[in-house]
């Protein structure tokens, strides 16, 4: 808050004497803070924000308006906004008691108005916003979100900000394909297992990624390839020709992180998942 200093001057008999210097501090009528729930954001997944407002004055404060820039930042001379307000998500509490839904203009910026606080009272405004294509999905992504609280009779609005980093880690999925879909007895069959990483971190050996499968009908004389390289049974995988049970060994499967790129014209981010491919080929056992 603002501090100030002051001193007096005494004049007599053509001379002057200065007093000691006194200092003071001007406290804002309200204080505001903003936090986000969770350990980070993922594009497309809602983030819950909580804004706390405290009335430090001795009278009721009416007409409070909260303005949220939804993380707006400059890109090539234009303002882009990485958060979209979730319609209908805002709720309002005073002293822990629900006050219903406040008046909202989704913006950007997001404007929540018509709030009131008793003397010495506190309010919580809770709402959600979804990171969009202007929010970086890369491992160093971050959204800096600024909020301002103003009210009737205030000399200076109160401000707060929140920094939320992107959620980091591997996000894996798996897809299975068969070739051919129609095969003759004792024919050769190939299963293709594609592991997809949509996250911004590599899946590394210490993540102990393991793939298991049970081939039914059972395959014999199998050949296993990992990203085109032939694997060795007992070193990279295990297989039981009696039961058809197949498993990769821990630490053998790694998957690169997704690649994040930004369109130079629109400024929107996109990701290309990282993949690793395992193929298992063998002959159908007699049924």
Burial of 4 (0-12, 13-18, 19+ CB in 10 A): exposed
Given its phi and psi angles, is residue 137 left (phi above 0), alpha (psi -120 to 50 degrees) or beta? Answer: alpha
Residue pair 284/187 in contact (Cβ under 8 Å)? The answer is: yes
At residue 24, the pLDDT reads: 66
Residue pair 114/104 in contact (Cβ under 8 Å)? The answer is: no
Burial of 160 (0-12, 13-18, 19+ CB in 10 A): middle
At residue 186, the pLDDT reads: 77
At residue 286, the pLDDT reads: 67
Domains and CATH numbers, the chain: 28-165 (2.60.40.740), 172-284 (2.60.40)
Instruction: At 106, list the tokens.
Output: 């989704």
Residue pair 201/139 in contact (Cβ under 8 Å)? The answer is: yes
At residue 238, the pLDDT reads: 98
At residue 26, the pLDDT reads: 54
pTM of the model: 0.81
At residue 203, the pLDDT reads: 97
Q: Before 271, cis peptide (omega within 30)? A: no
CB atoms within 10 A of CB 111: 16
Strand partners, 176: 193
Low pLDDT (below 70) residues in the chain: 1-2, 4, 24-28, 286-287
At residue 23, the pLDDT reads: 82
């Amino acid at each position: 808050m603002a501090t100030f200093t002051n001193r007096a001057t005494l004049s007599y008999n053509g001379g002057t004497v200065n007093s000691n210097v006194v200092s003071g501090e001007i406290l804002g009528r309200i204080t505001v803070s903003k936090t986000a729930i969770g350990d980070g954001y993922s594009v497309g997944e809602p983030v819950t924000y909580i804004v706390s407002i405290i009335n430090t004055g001795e009278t009721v404060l009416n007409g409070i308006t909260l303005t949220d820039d939804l993380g707006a930042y400059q890109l090539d001379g234009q303002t882009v906004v990485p958060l979209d307000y979730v319609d209908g998500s805002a709720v309002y509490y005073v002293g822990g008691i629900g006050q219903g839904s406040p008046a909202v203009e989704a913006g950007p910026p997001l404007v929540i108005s018509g709030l009131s606080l008793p003397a010495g009272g506190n309010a919580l405004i809770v709402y959600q916003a979804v990171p969009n294509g202007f929010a970086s999905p890369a491992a160093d992504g971050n959204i800096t979100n600024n909020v301002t609280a103003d009210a009737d009779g205030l000399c200076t609005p109160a401000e707060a900000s929140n920094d939320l980093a992107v959620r980091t880690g591997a996000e894996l999925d798996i897809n299975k394909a068969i070739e051919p879909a129609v095969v003759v007895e004792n024919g050769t069959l190939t299963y293709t297992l594609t592991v997809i990483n949509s996250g911004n971190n590599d899946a590394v050996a210490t993540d102990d990624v393991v793939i298991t499968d049970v081939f039914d009908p059972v395959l014999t004389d199998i050949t296993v390839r990992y990203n085109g390289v032939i694997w060795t049974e007992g070193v990279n995988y295990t297989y039981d020709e009696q039961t058809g049970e197949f498993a990769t060994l821990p630490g053998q499967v790694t998957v690169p992180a997704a690649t994040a790129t930004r369109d130079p014209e629109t400024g929107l981010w996109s990701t290309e998942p990282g993949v690793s491919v395992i193929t298992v080929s063998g002959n159908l056992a007699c049924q």
